[in-house]
Amino acid sequence: MYPLKLTPALKDYLWGGNKLKTDFNKQSDMEIVAESWELSCHKDGNSVISNGEFTGLTLSEYVEKMGAGVLGKNCEQFDNFPILIKLIDAKDNLSVQVHPENEYALRVEGEYGKTEMWYIVDCEEGATLLYGFKHKISTEEFRQRIENNTLMEVLNSVPVKRGDVFFIDAGTLHAIGKGILIAEIQQNSNTTYRIYDFGRVGADGKPRELHIDKAIDVTKLEPPTRDIKPQGEPVRLDGYTKTLLAKCEYFNVEVLDVEKKAELACDDSSFHSLLCLEGELSLESEKGNIQIGKGDSIFLDAAFGAYTLLGKANVVLTTV
């Protein structure tokens, strides 16, 4: 029941850069660090506890050892750890892709689908991303445009700025553009169907696999209906401001702009995940204290109780 500091699983996908190492203190011998899986119990990359008596345990092992109660009552509806949180550094464009909904993913892939949200942490001037279609198209046109390489003509390209929020419902075609760094909160899934990959080849010298038929099965062929902004207005409290970024059946995400202090409490409904995007803090509580810096990810068990963040920082708080 003490604050757990997590070491992320790192991924060296070919489109990534090195900002996660230089700006967010990720330690790796890899030349490219495209993603850091900050809060993960996924088989493709587990977070590892790096402090206290549970040092060296993966987060999955910790939950198994301590019991599902550490996740909270809201997680009882899920049969596995419900979410995955990443930092993503796109030096180059990601593939045009889509994620399936739960029913299809469970039936075809053996894991849950993937609804996600993106919080734009930083971006280069003029950066854009792809978010759904400009207008509704038919399944036949979708397939034809994939085959004749004209798909990009009907995709919705959106300029981005720091602080933008994109909610990506499962089935929404999308692609992160080059020069963008995001925090991604998503369902605990790693199922992705690539539709278009700019003709790139992988480490083996071969074109990366596409998943055209599956993508056609699950893609919503229409413009997105979500606003590109936080779901809530900033709320000023004593020592900090909080803003609701996104709320859905899988996760609740707020950003805390801590100016001096933030007095918070973690009850038995859900664990708390704290991801520091800027600044430095001291987390103080009856169950232990910990220093938090830029790039640090902290996990607090459900029913952890009251705690205070002291300092000046920007923090993403995620619950279920």
**82 — pLDDT class (breaks 50, 70, 90):** very high
Average pLDDT, the chain: 96
Distances (CA, A) of 292 to 44, 183, 310: 26, 17, 10
Q: Is the dihedral of CA 136, 97, 155, 165 positive or negative?
A: positive
Q: What is the pLDDT of residues 128-181, one digit of tens each?
A: 999 999 999 999 999 999 999 999 999 999 999 999 999 999 999 999 999 999
Active-site pick, 194, 200, 226, 236: 194
Domains of the chain from N-terminus onward:
4-218 (2.60.120.10), 235-319 (2.60.120.10)
Q: What is the CA radius of gyration of the chain?
A: 20
Angle at 240 between CA 182 and CA 318, to 5 degrees: 40
Q: Which residues contact 108 (CB under 8 A, 6 or more apart)?
A: 100, 214
147 Cβ contact list (under 8 Å, min separation 6):
none
Summarised one tens digit per residue, pLDDT across range 8-36 is 999 999 999 999 999 999 999 999 999 99
At which residue do the structure tokens 């068990």 appear?
A: 301
Q: Is 226 in the active site?
A: no
Question: How much of the chain exceeds pLDDT 70, in percent?
Answer: 100
By DSSP bridging, strand 297-300 and strand 193-196 are unpaired
